[in-house]
């Protein structure tokens, strides 16, 4: 049942001292022919900021004052089940509803508040009150949304036609409207339970809110059901709220209409959760449009404004995993979006919900994740646009460009070539038949005029490096003392800063005074910096390292007679004349074996004619004959030395004494030691 407070704001009087704040001007006695008179409001009015707060406070106070005489339930009905001036409550029987409404009417009447516009789904309740207390229309919470939407569609068609209000309806439209009106008589015997389930919701093991949405070119609709599971495993489904709205006149696409229906489903869920004293264990949404589900599940693509705003509205209140797909034949919201005749309402699933809700295994348990299909062909998805920036670098002739040249002459020629090309664009090089025109590489040598102009351009870079000094020279003829040029006593000639001196009055040009013609400021520091960073320069200018000499061997420090310890080596060959004939002379190679005393550095030389072992043995024999047998011989790994030692059967390590029987040296006691070729200091005994 529902009820309303008649003119609620006007039921509360404004204090006498506050009425001056509610003055207004109007015609006297409400007659526009009379003069304008100043009036004051005596009651609360719409538009005044404190009016709602005062009215609600007064209503609750009136209910508390009548609680003692008319019962506590009247106060609870007003304070708990009223929203501003509208009341809503459900009771088990019509008798209880009539009794509560009558007592509430009497309680509020004592405070000058009239409870009227009573409406109920029970005929007994409506008959218990006079007709002037009945509501002119009944808000049925969308119970008949699948039928009333047809009337709304007919009304839109009639109002959009180009005809005046006083003109009779077209015969065709009149018959259609009367047929719809007469079909409403089928709803007389419609009975809807006042409770959602047969048992108390507090005794349910699980409660679930299930909302379905659908759209057509005519309307969008959404309907909500409460699915409960008790301790015995019994599942019940109760109708909560249904809502249908006409589709926009702009005729959006079907996916957009389905998306609007999904937004409507979210809105009625928020309304239900805010009003009922129940927190369901789960909230599930069902939609028969996979396009909409893909929009909601999307995490990568961007949409245009229309779709983006509605998807964002859905994602603000729900999660993608709450949305599930349902076939159209199982979607009860389809009845409201397409409009049903009143005679077919009871035979559909509008009040009972789809059959799968009554099963323990629901349709969405094995549902897969929804992905966008061919996003490129969807007009509501923004195409991926990749922007590439091409930054064109404008190169200018700055001092940093000069660092690309290694010599002054190459820099001078480079600038002169630029001057030559620039002149070729201006056609300053002669006749039109000249080949030097535009961008080109000219093989001709540069003229002195171009080289001189290039030098002036290079020197003019000082304007960027010393702008303050040049400005000071122009104004005062001198530079500040803190400038790096102050010690050079600079002067300005032909817009170029030049080094001063004591020869300003001499009849000489600057080239004669200073042949180099250029002074590098901080040149010494610059050169030192370059040398410091140059690896090759560091190597060339580095300090010569002195290698530490090894210890002298024991043989070098021996006090024995000379040639007791001998080092052997062979010199390079030289050509000698062996014989002379009339036809010429015969030349042959000769070598010399050097016998070096390791203690006294004395050298004994013997000539050999070949580098074989026999020549080496013969040389040793002659050496020992002249000098004396040596205690130890040292040599490198020469082939003749190795073969000679093998034939003489000498100990290579020099640790044992062997007697030779192969040659005439069989009575000579020898020790022999071989060292690598690079160890020449050991061979010659230089230590």
Helix (H, G, I), strand (E, B) or coil at 683: helix
Residue 509 lies in a domain: no
CATH number of residue 562's parent domain? 3.30.420
Residues 151 and 129 in one domain: no
CATH number reported for the structural domain that contains residue 274 in this entry:
3.30.420.10
Is 323 part of a structural domain of the chain? yes
What is the distance between the alpha carbons of residues 541 and 535, in angstroms, rounded to a whole number? 10
Could you report the per-residue pLDDT of 432-485, keeping only the tens digit for each?
445 677 777 777 888 888 888 888 888 888 888 888 888 888 887 788 877 877
Instruction: Say whether both 412 and 474 belong to one domain.
Output: no
Residue of 281, 283, 301 lying closest to 291 (CA atoms): 301
Q: Do 403 and 477 belong together in one domain?
A: no
Query: Of 117, 143, 147, 149, whose CA–CA distance to 130 is shortest?
Result: 117
At 41, list the tokens: 């409001």
Which pLDDT belongs to residue 507? 63
Q: What is the per-residue pLDDT for 680?
A: 46
Are residues 470 and 416 both part of a single domain? no
* CA–CA gap between residue 196 and residue 145 (Å, rounded): 18
Angle between helices 94-109 and 72-80 (to 10 degrees): 90
Judge if 442 and 567 occupy the same domain: no
Asked whether the beta carbons of 28 and 58 are under 8 A apart, the reply is no
Q: Is residue 446 part of a domain?
A: yes
Q: Which structural domain, as residue segments, surrounds residue 594?
A: 554-683
Provide φ and ψ at 516, rounded to 5°: -70, -25
Sites in the chain below the pLDDT cut of 50:
138, 428-429, 431-433, 515, 654-664, 666-667, 669, 678, 680-687
**Cβ-count burial of 219 within 10 angstroms (0-12 exposed, 13-18 middle, 19+ buried)?**
buried
Q: How many domains does the chain have?
A: 5
If you average pLDDT over every residue of the chain, what do you get? 82
Q: Looking at the structure, tell me whether residues 261 and 373 fall in a common domain.
A: yes
Residue 508 lies in a domain: no
Q: Are residues 20 and 115 in the same domain?
A: yes
Max CA pair span of the chain: 170
Position 570 scores a pLDDT of 94
Do 362 and 416 share a domain, yes or no? no
The answer to whether residue 162 sits within a structural domain is no
pLDDT tens, position by position, 102-160: 999 899 999 889 999 888 888 888 888 888 888 865 456 778 888 888 888 888 888 87
Q: What is the pLDDT of residue 511?
A: 53
Residues 213 and 340 in one domain: yes
Of 571, 583, 588, 574, the closest CA to residue 640 belongs to: 571
What is the distance between the alpha carbons of residues 518 and 514, in angstroms, rounded to a whole number?
8
Residues 85, 38 within the same domain: yes
* Domain-embedded: residue 515: no
Backbone phi and psi for residue 419, each to the nearest 5 degrees, phi listed first? -60, -40
- 236 and 90 within one domain: no
433 and 488 belong to one structural domain: no
Asked if residue 94 is part of any domain, the answer here is yes
Q: Please, are residues 264 and 243 in contact by the beta-carbon 8 Å criterion? A: yes
| 539, part of any domain | no
């Amino acid at each position: 049942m529902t009820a309303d407070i008649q003119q609620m704001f006007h039921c509360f009087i404004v204090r006498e001292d506050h009425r001056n704040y509610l003055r207004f001007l109007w015609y006297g006695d409400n007659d526009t022919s009379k003069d304008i008179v100043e009036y004051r409001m005596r009651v609360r009015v719409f538009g005044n900021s404190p009016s709602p707060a005062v009215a609600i406070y007064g209503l609750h106070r009136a209910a508390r004052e009548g609680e003692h005489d008319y019962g506590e339930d009247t106060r609870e009905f007003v304070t708990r089940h009223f929203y501003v001036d509208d009341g809503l409550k459900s009771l088990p029987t019509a008798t209880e509803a009539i009794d509560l409404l009558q007592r509430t009417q009497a309680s509020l009447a004592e405070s000058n508040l009239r409870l009227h516009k009573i409406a109920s789904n029970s005929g007994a309740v409506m008959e218990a009150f006079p007709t002037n207390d009945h509501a002119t229309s009944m808000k049925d919470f969308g119970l008949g949304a699948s039928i009333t939407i047809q009337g709304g569609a007919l009304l839109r068609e009639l109002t959009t036609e180009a005809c005046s209000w006083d003109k009779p309806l077209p015969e065709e439209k009149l018959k259609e409207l009367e047929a719809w009106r007469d079909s409403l008589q089928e709803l007389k015997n419609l009975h809807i339970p006042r409770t959602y389930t047969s048992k108390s919701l507090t005794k349910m093991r699980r409660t679930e809110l299930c909302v379905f949405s659908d759209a057509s070119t005519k309307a969008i609709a959404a309907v909500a059901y409460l699915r409960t599971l008790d301790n015995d495993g019994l599942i019940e489904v109760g109708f909560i709220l249904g809502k249908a709205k006409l589709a926009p006149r702009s005729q959006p696409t079907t996916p957009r209409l389905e998306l609007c229906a999904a937004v409507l489903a979210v809105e009625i869920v928020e309304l239900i959760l805010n009003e009922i004293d129940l927190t369901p264990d789960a909230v599930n949404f069902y939609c028969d449009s996979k396009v909409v589900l893909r929009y909601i599940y999307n995490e990568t693509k961007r949409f245009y404004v229309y779709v983006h705003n509605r998807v964002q509205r859905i994602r603000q209140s729900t999660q993608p995993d709450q949305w599930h797909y349902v076939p159209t034949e199982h979607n009860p919201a389809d009845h409201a979006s397409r409009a049903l005749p009143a005679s077919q309402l009871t035979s559909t699933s509008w009040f009972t919900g789809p059959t799968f809700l009554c099963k323990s295994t629901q349709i969405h348990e094995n549902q897969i994740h929804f992905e966008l299909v061919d996003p490129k062909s969807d007009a509501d998805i923004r195409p991926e646009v990749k922007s590439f920036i091409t930054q064109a670098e404008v190169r200018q002739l700055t001092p940093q460009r000069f660092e690309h040249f290694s010599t002054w002459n190459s820099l001078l020629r480079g600038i002169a070539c630029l001057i030559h090309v620039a002149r070729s664009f201006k056609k300053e090089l002669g006749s039109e038949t000249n080949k030097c025109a535009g961008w080109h590489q000219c093989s001709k040598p540069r003229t002195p005029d171009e080289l001189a102009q290039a030098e002036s351009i290079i020197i003019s870079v000082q304007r960027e490096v010393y702008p303050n000094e040049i400005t000071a020279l122009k104004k005062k003829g001198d530079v500040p003392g803190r400038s790096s040029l102050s010690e050079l006593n600079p002067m300005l000639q032909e817009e170029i800063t030049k080094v001063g001196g004591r020869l300003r009055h001499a009849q000489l040009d600057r080239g004669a005074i200073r042949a180099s013609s250029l002074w590098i400021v901080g040149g010494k520091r610059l050169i030192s910096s370059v040398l410091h960073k140059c690896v090759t320069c560091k190597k060339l200018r580095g300090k010569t390292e002195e290698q530490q000499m090894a210890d002298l061997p024991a043989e070098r420090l021996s006090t024995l007679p000379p040639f007791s310890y001998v080092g052997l080596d062979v010199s390079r060959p030289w050509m000698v004349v062996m014989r002379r004939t009339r036809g010429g002379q015969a030349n042959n190679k000769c070598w010399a074996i050097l016998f070096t005393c390791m203690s006294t550095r004395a050298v004994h030389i013997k000539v050999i004619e070949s580098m074989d072992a026999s020549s080496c043995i013969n040389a040793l024999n002659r050496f020992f004959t002249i000098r004396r047998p040596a205690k130890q011989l040292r040599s490198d790994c020469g082939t003749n030395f190795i073969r000679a030692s093998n034939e003489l059967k000498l100990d290579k390590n020099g640790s044992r004494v062997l007697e030779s029987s192969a040659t005439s040296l069989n009575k000579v006691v020898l020790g022999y030691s071989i060292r690598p070729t690079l160890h020449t200091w050991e061979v010659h005994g230089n230590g």
